[in-house]
Structure 1
Amino acid sequence: MSADRVDDGLAGFGYKPQLQRSLGNFHTFAAGISYISILTGTFQLFYFGFGFGGPAYWWSWPMVFVGQLMVALSFAELAAHYPVAGSIYNWSKRMGSRHVAWLAGWMMLTASIVTIAAVALAYQITLPQISDIFRFSGDDALNAVILGTALIVFTTAVNAYGVKLMARINSAGVFIELIAAVLLIILLAVNITRGPGVVFETQGTGEGRPGGYLGAFLIAALASTYVMYGFDTASSLGEESHNPRRNAPRAILRALIASFLIGGLILLFALMAVGDITDPRIAEGGLQFIVLNTLGSGLGTALLWSVVIAITVCNLAVQSAAIRMMFAMARDNNLPAGRILATVDPKRRTPVVPALVTGALAVVILVVNVGQPQIFTVITSIGIVMIYLAYLLVTIPMLVKRLRGQWPPPDTGGGYFSLGRWGLPVNILGVLWGAGMVVNLAWPRRDVYNAEPPYHWYLQWGAVLFIGIVAALGFAYYWFFLRRGSGVLPDHALDSPEDEPEDKETA
């Protein structure tokens, strides 16, 4: 077995390298930070958090960061050992069993495709505020689908062309996003009109709610919860990165930490800079309104263009992660038409078919928004729950292995990232956090899942019903049709029998 195969982590799964290894340190960092995409998430969801929790909703940002950091630290340790495509799926396979892994991959893949559509809708929140040129229809829902479809077509074409082009566009977009974010922080800071004490104001948002302000805060916290995830993307590109066992863990942690610092300052200074903190338009227009209100139309519009760039590269990164997940499951023959989905273009050395399939499915989901925007909102929220569930299907089996003394494995001698004696408490906190967030995200609140009439019980209970149906039907299909043929496809298997993994069940 070559040293390269040992180092890239593929040999332990029985895979031979097929993807193009061409990404550097910044490329992997950019993939993680563009998936989180601070400008996309904060500008898309600020109105929600502020509307339900007032300025004090800001505290959900550091709260979510600390919880997600526990998960990211565990993922960084896994990435040091297994930097492979479809990271969540393959990590779950190594930590638990192939059945648990399939469910984790299925949840993550389904949620990622939904997320592609959800992120594409963010164009509608920003572009029409820049210019009426981007209003192709008087129906906002239809206009959102038109703009979103155009974005998905672009990201699908880029991802299908090859990882090099994707990485270049993504890295350039992230560079612009980071510069714009820092500039926005500075401009908001020089326009401050009140002190940081504003983050203790609730504006009476807890009145009349079950649990008072705590109940309101838990709803508002979803705005932060919906943003800080996807950092595992840095490892999902591990098979296409140089020295991934060293670079992927750093990229995961740097992406999350940088996003927390930049996003937290943007939110804080926006609350301190807006002219009238009680203006009802803040809960309607969100950060876009604050930027235009504080900085004026000229400079504000320029910064909104940076948000458009951020949305574009975010969608590019989300689809890239979905493609790697589909490819990873397909090469194990764990998806319908697995051989076709796992085919790597010999010239581009990238899985083209998954790019086309994920793009087409995302557009189909997007079309739902035309006639039933409430249903789309439900599906989008459920997608986030499924991602947090997929994370739990990694951290829980990992915790079980720790308690059994089976993790971490013996160091390969490379001095890779390790939590050491902090591994167990970090892992426990990550599991508790993930479980708590799944409950908070899936809780059948009308404000989240059925905010406008007509009110239907199946929409309010949408998270529980939809996730249950997706998991049950998906796993039933796997159990009765896919399971018997599950295994690394010949075109992707290592050449020599002695290179095959020892644990047949988990491989």
Structure 2
Amino acid sequence: MSDPSGLATPVPAGRDDESTPAPARRGDHDDLADLGYDQQLHRSLGTFASFAAGFSFVSILTTIFQLFGLGYGFGGPAFFWTWPIVFAGQFLVALCFAELAARYPLSGAIYQWSRRMGGEIVGWFGGWFMILAQIVTASAAAIALQVVLPSIWSGFQIIGDDPALTSPSGAANAVLLGLVLLVITTTINSLGIRWMAYVNNIGVTCEIVGVVAVILALLTHAVRGPQVVFDTAGMGDQPGYIWAWVVSGLMAAYVMVGFGSAGELAEETVNPRRVAPRTIRMALTVSALGGGLMILAALMAAPSLTDGRLATEGLPYVLNSVLGNFWGKVLLVVVVVAIFICTLAIQTAATRLMFSMARDGRLPFSATLSRVNPRTGTPIAPAVLIGVSCIAILLVNMGNAAIFATLASVCIILIYLAYLCVTAPLLLRRLRGWPNGPRLTDAEGKPLFSLGRWGIPVNVLAVGYGLLMTVNLAWPRTEIFDPSGQTPWMRWAGVLTVLAVVGLGILCFPRGKTHPKPVTIGE
């Protein structure tokens, strides 16, 4: 049973209602014990809170406000078509995740799923890629405050007078605003999952209302029809539009990640075998639908498609032009809320991932990082360490926003690599007959989510999509990694960073340590 906030009250083991026949229903903590772990985290999240975790990580208001200009600048209005294509690819991945979430409802989802499908080395690197990516992504989300707050009130420009993120004063002010945000979100994460869920649920509700308001406001001020999505606006005439369009697809690739966060909170969710698979799919689908409509509405309502402002100023330019200063600022306040909950959700997911790896003794200082506060049910040490790490990454932006922009691009590559650490070994397991064994059910006795005979074709397409997108993200493009043209070596930042992360991962891998919870691959 659950309350309107999305938090749920679990039914204790052995307690039945009148309709439940003997024997007594197994509790979720018994289910967790079967996977080799004790119930340490407080289990209180319901369906909406689980959905909110994934939706707020994607945070279309935050990311589309940041990245609309990127997509439009490369592909013109027709960049819209990259959105449904990326959604289709990511939905294939989400279906694979949903099937695994039903069978392995554990914190540290990417790490746990990849190790159970591919073994300890694959699992460790899946967790390693993901945790580094989440730290950088949380810092990137915090930086977004600089794009919005000074536009609402000039008093938020505390350092200097130039709010542009690429200016020295803008970059320094972005660090200050982001630091304040990260301190607040770290504090909330340390207080416990109920505080995090309440704040996140309220924020997600505001963001959904804001997305609907933006779409309706723009559609009621449309100056052209939906056929605008077939207009290339003269982009990429040489050497051909297709290459410009492929680059514009990076915008959608940057946005539609993190939908698996519902799996990260599985040990805090009531009946996670049923809830997590559903909310993983729902978070991505709702985000894709809302984001696609928002992009379409912006293209239909933009005052001009050719004056260059859509590429340089993006969605805020359209809102301010269409709605005027007052209502434009009201919606920007909603964007601030979205940035706040996005940062909070990413930090929460990273905290649970670090806790899960530390619980298995796979990180330095694992004994400290795996300790759960018995009162709050929260792993406080990982929450604090993630917050401090985000702040450290944030300081890179001090006076040098170009490097931070490159780091933000690279972190998405790491997320796609982490996803491949799940989908690729999962495909190999399927080809060898996975899933096998008895048919499992959830806490309500219903069959678990399964792709059935569609498992292999869906998985093949998910792996193919992941490989193609990783190559697209890491391709040494001057436009992405060295837009100023002053540091040619930065074009290779994606490839070099991945090699560096893999090399560092090899050095940090816990050699000679027997895993305390060994598993049979593909069990």
Normalised by the size of structure 2, how large is the TM-score? 0.91
Q: Matches of 1:384 and 1:13 in 2, distance apart?
A: 30
CA–CA separation in structure 1 for the residues paired with 2:249 and 2:67: 10
Which residue, out of 154, 175, 195, partners 1:165?
A: 195
In 1, Cα distance between equivalents of 2:180 and 2:94? 33
| Contact map agreement 1:7 1:245 (CA 8 A) in 2 | no
Q: Does 1:257 align with 2:252?
A: no
Residue deviations 1:105-160 (CA, integer Å, cap 9, x gap): 00000110011111111111111111101101121110111111111111101001
Cα drift, residue 407 of structure 1: 2.3
Q: Does 1:345 align with 2:405?
A: no
CA contact (8 A) 1:98 1:506 kept: no
Matched, 1:470 2:498: no
Aligned to 2:255: 227
* Structure-2 residue corresponding to 1:271: 299
Residues 297-343 of structure 1 show CA distances to partners (whole Å, capped at 9, x for unaligned) of 11111011111101100010000000011001111110111111111
Return the offset for 1:255.
0.6
Aligned amino acid, residue 140 of structure 1: G
Number of aligned residues: 489
Q: Give 1:485 deviation, angstroms.
A: 2.5
Partner of 1:494: none
Aligned positions of 1:66-215 closer than 5 A: 66-138=88-160, 139-209=169-239, 212-215=240-243
Q: Give the CA deviation at 1:5.
A: 6.3
Q: Secondary structure at the match of 2:207?
A: helix
**Aligned residue for 1:361?**
389
Q: 1:371 to 1:437 in 2, by over 3 A?
A: same
Q: 1:474, 1:118 → 2: CA distance?
A: 22
Partner Cα distance (1:444, 1:9) in 2: 46
Pick the aligned partner of 1:440 from 450, 472, 476: 472
Q: TM-score, normalised by structure 1?
A: 0.94
Worse-superposed segment, 369-378 or 123-132: 369-378
- Check the 8 A contact 1:8/1:83 in 2, yes or no: no
Alignment partner of 1:319 is 2:350: no
**Match of 1:495?**
none
Residue of 49, 53, 60 corresponding to 2:82: 60
Q: CA deviation at 1:53?
A: 0.9
Distance 1:163 1:443, change over 3 A: same
Distance 1:8 1:290, change over 3 A: farther
Aligned 1:411-450 pairs, distance under 5 A: 411-413=439-441, 414-450=446-482
Tell me the amino acid that sits aligned with residue 424 of structure 1.
I
- Shift in CA distance, 6/302, structure 1 to aligned 2, threshold 3 Å: closer
What is the root-mean-square deviation of aligned Cα atoms in Å? 1.7
Paired residues of 2:28 and 2:271 also in contact (CA < 8 A): no
Q: How does 1:479-494 map to 2 (within 5 A)?
A: 482-488=510-516
Paired residue for 1:455, among 487, 491, 510?
Answer: 487
Change (3 A) 1:115 1:4: farther
8 Å contact from structure 1 (residues 10, 16) kept in 2: yes
Alpha-carbon offset, residue 506 of structure 1 = 7.7
**Which amino acid in the other structure matches residue 53 of structure 2?**
A
Inter-CA distance 29–409: structure 2 relative to 1 (3 Å threshold): farther
Separation in 2, partners of 1:259, 1:281: 25
Quote the residue 1:395 is aligned against: 423
- 1:246 maps onto 2:284 in alignment: no
Pick closer, same or farther for the CA change 1:7–1:21 going to 2, 3 Å. Answer: closer
AA in 2 matched with 1:150: V
**How many Å apart are 1:483 and its aligned residue?**
2.7
Q: In 2 relative to 1, CA 271–324 (structure 1 residues): closer, same or farther, beyond 3 Å?
A: same
The CA deviation at 1:477 is 2.2
In structure 2, what is the Cα distance between the partners aligned to 1:101 and 1:245? 21
Distance in 2 (CA, whole Å) between partners of 1:126 and 1:502 is: 47
* Kept after mapping to 2: 8 A contact 1:8/1:244: no
Contact 2:29 2:39 in 1 (8 A): no
Q: Assess, with a 3 A threshold, how the Cα gap between structure 1 residues 293 and 90 changes in structure 2: closer, same or farther.
A: same
Instruction: Give distance in 2, aligned partners of 1:52 and 1:395.
Output: 30
Distance 1:4 1:484 in 2: 37
Answer yes or no: is the 8 Å Cα contact 2:435–2:522 preserved in 1.
no
Residue 147 to residue 433, structure 1, CA distance change in 2 (3 Å) = same
Paired AA for residue 477 in structure 1: C
Structure showing greater relative contact order (alpha-carbon pairs closer than 8 Å, 6 or more residues apart): 1
Structure 1 counterpart of 2:157, which letter?
R
1:7 Cα offset (Å)? 7.0
